[in-house]
Chains A and B, each alone.
Chain A
Amino acid sequence: QSILTQPPSVSAAPGQKVTISCSGSSSNIGRNVVSWYQQFPRTAPKLLIYENNKRPSGIPDRFSGSRSGTSATLAITGLQTGDEADYYCATWDSSLVEGVFGGGTKLTVL
């Protein structure tokens, strides 16, 4: 059972928009910034979004993030088949004094 809650899976058609939610609490998302990671099978995760809504160099602006209260959201517009991957949210939990991840969301582009 992950500290941060994500939907196990989401799907949408190519060209469409999808959002992935990440729900936490006042000790984690409510207090610390959120980052998002993209993971393809048999590879290491890759940083996608940091500080809630910032993109590292090289990440297309089709990917965006937001945070409100104790929840965060990753949005992907103009879906491509190459976006099919697992997506994880992460932050720090100030009560546990531990890093915490969401359980991951598998994105299928139909």
Chain B
Amino acid sequence: QIQLMQSGAEVKKPGASVKVSCRTSGYTFNNYFMHWVRQAPGQGLEWMGWMNPNIGGTNSAQKFQGRVTMTRDPSKNTAYMELSNLRSDDTAIYFCVRRRSGDYPFDYWGQGTLVTVSS
């Protein structure tokens, strides 16, 4: 079955970086874009960006441009999201989400990774 398995919770200090991994199985990794969505405590969902696993191209929300880096390792069917210069308001659960290119939904989600930013 299709699975997106994310790395474990992280605690970081302000100004540091965090890298979250998303290991996929059960489908052809290159056939679906990988998106990242986050959810701050008690808040709604916020789209961060996408990565095209075929060529590694990326696009991110303007809010995160310059701070987010999305990469992949096709040999491991794994996507990565790195967020730098962390602030306290980056404390959130980060989800990787699969989506086919075009007008398609976010159909499979990772379980989420809690990132806590605290001094």
Contact = CB atoms under 8 A, between A and B. Distances in A.
Contacts of B35: 99
B44 A2 contact: yes
Interface in A71-107: 88, 90, 92, 96-104
A18 interface: no
B73 to A, nearest CB: 22
A45 B108 CA distance: 9
Contacts of A43: 111
B103 A88 contact: no
Interface residues of B, number: 21
Interface string B39-64: 00000111100100000000101100
Given A44-B112, A103-B44, A32 B103 contact: yes
A35 interface: yes
Nearest to A98: B61
Contacts of A35: 105-106
Contacts of B103: 32-33, 51, 92
Given A2-B44, A88-B45, A97 B59 contact: yes
B106 A47 contact: yes
Interface size class of A (residues with CB under 8 A): 20 to 34
Interface in B5-60: 35, 37, 44-47, 50, 59
Interface of A: 2, 32-33, 35, 37, 43-47, 50-51, 56, 88, 90, 92, 96-104
Interface of B: 35, 37, 44-47, 50, 59, 61-62, 95, 103-112
20 contacts: A37-B45, A37-B106, A44-B95, A44-B109, A44-B110, A45-B106, A45-B109, A46-B109, A47-B106, A50-B105, A51-B103, A56-B107, A88-B45, A90-B106, A98-B62, A99-B61, A101-B37, A101-B44, A101-B45, A104-B44
Chain A to chain B: the 9 pairs with minimum beta-carbon distance, closest first: A99-B47, A35-B105, A50-B105, A44-B109, A104-B44, A101-B45, A103-B44, A98-B61, A33-B103
